[in-house]
Amino acid sequence: MSAEERLIRYCRIDTQSDPESRGKTPSAAKEFDLAKVLEKELRGLGLKDAKTDAHCYVYAHLPANIRSSAKTVGFIAHMDTAPDFSGTGVKPRVIRGYDGKDIVLSKDRTMKTADFPQLKSCKGMDLVVAGGDTLLGADDKAGIAIIMSMLEHFQKHPEEPHGRIAVAFTPDEEIGGGTAYFDLKKFGADFAYTFDGDEVNVIADETFNAAEATVSFTGFCLHPGSSKNRMINAANIAMEYHDLLPAEMRPEHTEKREGFFHLHAMEGSCEHAQLTYIVRNHDRRQFDWMLKLMQQAADYINARHGKKICEVKIRLEYRNMYEVMKHHPEVTRLAWEAMKEIGLTPARESIRGGTDGAMLSFKGLPCPNLGTGGGNYHGPYEYLVIDEMNKGVELAVRIAVNAGKAHL
């Protein structure tokens, strides 16, 4: 089965994680639907220990076929799709020899090159898109397809030397729970790579530092006709609070290594209001300053009203994996050299986001991220370049072969 065929098969299985069930793993029982398919496929590829655990993590190992003291290399991809857009009833469509023009997804939605100029670089290639009313799910089912196709390569080519290979497929990455119950001992790798990015020639060993901030406001409500100098409208105070944070540090005004405050949810009335932010910065000192600024804004409001009406609660999500990866340059170098060997021009990227690898790196498993050839993730304009995904399979094979030779 080709990587393309695998991708299409996996994308048709609805595995959308549920942010309302955050804290329960998996957040959606339907994630087991794909896990069970993958477990069966892994066993069919000769990985006899393939197993899905109670929390929907799939683990398997391909034994070394050489005598080597090399370390075990791991490959990881997540099974869930993002809750941002529907993942039900996905209908993948292959576009052969893309002509470089606008792509009509449905009667109501067209992916225009004016909006997505990167599409022009895909001219002549084969693409996979969805039907306009769902996301595609290549994030991260393309990563799964790459890893499974790598394993199939070794099954078909037993003469190809490699060390021990560990694979894992995780639930709930899209809602920040991908490593909640990840069993490092069961996985048994010394280092690993997540296949969960965009361009296949990019290796990412740096992420944001990340937190979620919930800011709550308590009002004092009276009849509006007799409330002068007494009413405290929580919704109004919430707007005032938001304006105290620097407008230039909103996502729509930032790029590259610039951090941001992103207001992604709000609710409010006179009596109570709540703002929910995600806070991101690559630099740890700037990140800490941003969290401190949010508390200072709350302190200012409370001081102005003479009582506590504003409260900030911070939930740290993940840290910049480079704090770990800088001590393991050999892991990045192994992927870098493999890319060059298969004809890619490698590039290094600082992700404006996070991966399972960021969390796993701080748990003791150095784990940078590799690309799968997709774009426009988390929405109806998502696409996957089949040519790049196939190159990802080649890259995974080369990393595994070289890891068997290396003494890292």
Give pLDDT tens digits along the chain (408 positions): 999 999 999 999 999 999 988 789 999 999 999 999 999 999 999 999 999 999 999 999 999 998 878 899 999 999 999 999 999 999 999 999 999 999 999 999 999 999 999 999 999 999 999 999 999 999 999 999 999 999 999 999 999 999 999 999 999 999 888 899 999 999 999 999 999 988 999 999 999 999 999 999 999 888 888 888 888 899 999 999 999 999 999 999 999 999 999 999 999 999 999 999 999 999 999 999 999 999 999 999 999 999 999 999 999 988 999 999 999 999 999 999 999 999 999 999 998 888 889 999 999 999 999 999 999 999 999 999 999 999 999 999 999 999 998 665
**What is the pTM for the complete model shown?**
0.89
pLDDT, one tens digit per residue, over 90-126 is: 999 999 999 999 999 999 999 999 999 999 999 999 9
CB 237 within 8 A of CB 309: yes
The domains found in the chain, sorted by start residue, are 3-207+320-405 (3.40.630.10), 209-317 (3.30.70.360)
Catalytic, 255? Answer no
Which among 14, 80, 174, 198 is annotated as catalytic?
80
- CA–CA distance, 347 with 13 (Å, rounded to integer): 33
First-last CA distance in the chain: 33
Contacts of 231 (CB under 8 A, 6+ apart): 219, 220, 221, 222, 224, 270
Place of tokens 């398919």: 37
Residue 196 tokens read as: 């969960």
For residue 358, which of 17, 91, 78 has the smallest C-alpha distance? Answer: 78
Query: What burial class does residue 127 get, using C-beta atoms within 10 Å of its C-beta: 0-12 exposed, 13-18 middle, 19+ buried?
Result: buried
Alpha-helical segments (H) within 45-125: none
Considering the candidates 41, 173, 190, 388, report the single residue annotated as catalytic.
Answer: 173
Rounded Cα distance between 118 and 140, Å, is: 20
- Cα angle value 379/383/384 (rounded, 5°): 140
Cα R_g (the chain), whole angstroms: 23
Residue 61's DSSP bridge partners are 166
Chain-centroid distance of CA 402 in Å reads: 26
- Alpha helices by DSSP H, listed for 218-283, are 234-244
Strand 369-371 relative to strand 191-197, pairing? parallel
**Prior bond to 115 cis, omega within 30?**
no
User: Taking the CB of residue 244, how many other CB atoms lie within 10 A of it?
Assistant: 13
Angle (deg, nearest 10), helices 3-11 and 31-44: 150
Query: Catalytic: 80?
Result: yes
Which phi and psi angles does 227 have, rounded to 5°? Answer: -120, 10
Q: Are 208 and 91 in contact (CB under 8 A)?
A: no
Residue 377 is classified by DSSP as: T
174, 179, 180, 186 alpha-carbon torsion, rounded to 10° = 140
Helices (H) and strands (E) in the chain, counts: 10, 18
